[in-house]
């Protein structure tokens, strides 16, 4: 049914594509201005709607730059507040959004801020915090800011070059705008990606001279956590009745991973950034173990017993990791 609706919506996708083209054209000719800032700004984004691993990439950069003063600036999607906010000890997931809240809890020593107006957000951070670097989460399509360095993510199973515009496809920006990226990372790759496949993808994307192309796979933790010091070996869940609850854009890799290691789970799937109702929680709260993603955990924590989350990170080959780390560290 959903596929049928997307096909019916094709004329609207053409209108959307035209609007996106005109907007980018006006920026490209200088009619609209893109501003740069004295502070180093690193943008992590994509051309599609979710599902490429932006938050794990932000976390990777935080760990890489841990000797520097870091600020993360996000829109704070679906938060119930407005304007510029810096996360504090009393901040809630409703105040700043699930992904910023996840980062704030995981890395309490760094500054996490939210503002839909990225220009204002950067200016506020420069005045109030004076960080060495600002990580711009999900900001590739925000042309008002010209970042120091842009990292564009695209998923192995749904490369932007093969996609189409909303609402028929998942693209929210023009494919040609990939030329603005300094680095393109193909995420969610098979762990044993052959050189032939890497070459084929490189030829398909047709990046410009000077643009770097890297490949990453997903690395899942071997334990699940519950927000305290309690941990359970993931493989031990084979012996328990487990429900998997996801409110993310692309749960398929996680489901496949659990299946591959022998877990039999009942999957409750919801839309990305979903806020769970009491009725929905009652539907899955009776299981022995409730497993979820780290992003969903911050929206479910305190509302469900026996709740655990599974961490995920980007994993690169040694060669690609050296290229990525050198590119980022050379900026500071």
pLDDT tens per residue across span 160-196: 999 999 999 999 999 999 999 999 999 999 999 999 9
Please check whether residue 191 lies inside any domain of the structure.
Answer: yes
Q: 286 and 205, same structural domain? A: no
Q: Are 79 and 96 in contact (CB under 8 A)?
A: yes
Question: 157 labelled as ligand-binding?
Answer: no
Has 49 been labeled as part of a binding site?
yes
CATH number at residue 19: 3.40.50
SS3 state at 73: strand
Domain assignment present for 125: no
Q: Indicate if 215 and 264 belong to the same structural domain.
A: no
* Structural domain containing residue 267: 223-310
62 is a domain residue: yes
Interatomic CA distance for residues 226 and 224, integer angstroms: 7
52 is in an annotated binding site: yes
Whether the ω angle into residue 167 lies within 30 degrees of 0, i.e. cis, is yes
How many domains does the chain fold into?
Answer: 2
How confident is the model over 276-304, as a mean pLDDT?
92
Q: Do 170 and 295 lie in a common domain? A: no
Of all residues in the chain, what percent carry a pLDDT higher than 90?
88
The answer to whether 54 is annotated as binding is: yes
Same domain, residue pair 59 and 178: yes
As to burial, measured by CB atoms within 10 angstroms (0-12 exposed, 13-18 middle, 19+ buried), residue 285 is middle
Give yes or no: residues 189 and 161 share one domain. Answer: yes
| This prediction's pTM | 0.95
pLDDT confidence bin for 5, thresholds 50/70/90: low
- Which structure tokens are listed for 117? 């107006």
157 and 257 fall within a common domain: no
* In-domain check, residue 278: yes
**DSSP H helical ranges for 269-317:** 278-284, 294-300
Q: Is residue 113 part of a domain?
A: no
pLDDT at 6 over 80: no
Instruction: Judge contact between 133 and 68, C-beta under 8 A.
Output: yes
The verdict on residue 86 lying in a domain is no
Which residues lie below 8 Å from residue 61, measured CB to CB, with a gap of 6+?
Answer: 42, 44, 135, 328
């Amino acid at each position: 049914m959903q596929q049928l609706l997307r096909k019916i919506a094709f004329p609207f996708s053409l209108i959307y594509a035209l609007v996106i083209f005109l907007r980018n054209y006006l920026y490209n000719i200088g009619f609209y201005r893109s501003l740069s800032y004295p502070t180093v700004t690193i943008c992590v984004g994509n051309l599609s709607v979710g599902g490429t691993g932006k938050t794990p990439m932000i976390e990777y950069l935080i760990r890489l730059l841990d000797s520097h003063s870091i600020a993360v600036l996000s829109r704070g999607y679906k938060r119930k507040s407005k304007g510029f906010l810096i996360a504090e000890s009393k901040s809630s997931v409703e105040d700043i959004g699930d992904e910023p809240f996840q980062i704030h809890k995981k890395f309490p020593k760094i500054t996490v801020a939210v503002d839909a107006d990225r220009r204002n957000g950067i200016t506020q951070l420069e005045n109030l915090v004076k960080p060495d670097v600002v990580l711009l989460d999900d900001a590739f399509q925000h042309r008002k800011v010209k970042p120091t360095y842009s990292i564009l993510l695209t998923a192995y199973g749904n490369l932007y070059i093969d996609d189409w515009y909303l609402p028929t496809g998942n693209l929210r920006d023009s494919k040609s705008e990939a030329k603005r990226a300094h680095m393109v990372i193909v995420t969610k790759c098979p762990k044993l990606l052959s050189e032939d496949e890497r070459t084929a993808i490189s030829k398909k994307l047709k990046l410009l001279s000077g643009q770097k192309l890297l490949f990453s796979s997903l690395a899942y933790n071997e334990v699940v956590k519950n927000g305290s010091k309690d941990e359970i070996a993931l493989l031990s869940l084979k012996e328990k009745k487990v429900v998997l609850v996801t409110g993310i854009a692309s749960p398929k890799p996680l489901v496949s991973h659990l299946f591959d290691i022998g877990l039999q789970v009942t999957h409750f799937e919801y839309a990305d950034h979903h806020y769970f109702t009491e009725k929905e929680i009652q539907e899955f709260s009776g299981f022995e173990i409730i497993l979820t993603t780290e992003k969903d955990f911050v929206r479910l924590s305190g509302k469900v017993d026996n709740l655990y989350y599974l961490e995920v990170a980007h994993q690169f080959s040694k060669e690609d990791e050296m290229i990525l780390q050198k590119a980022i560290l050379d900026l500071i």
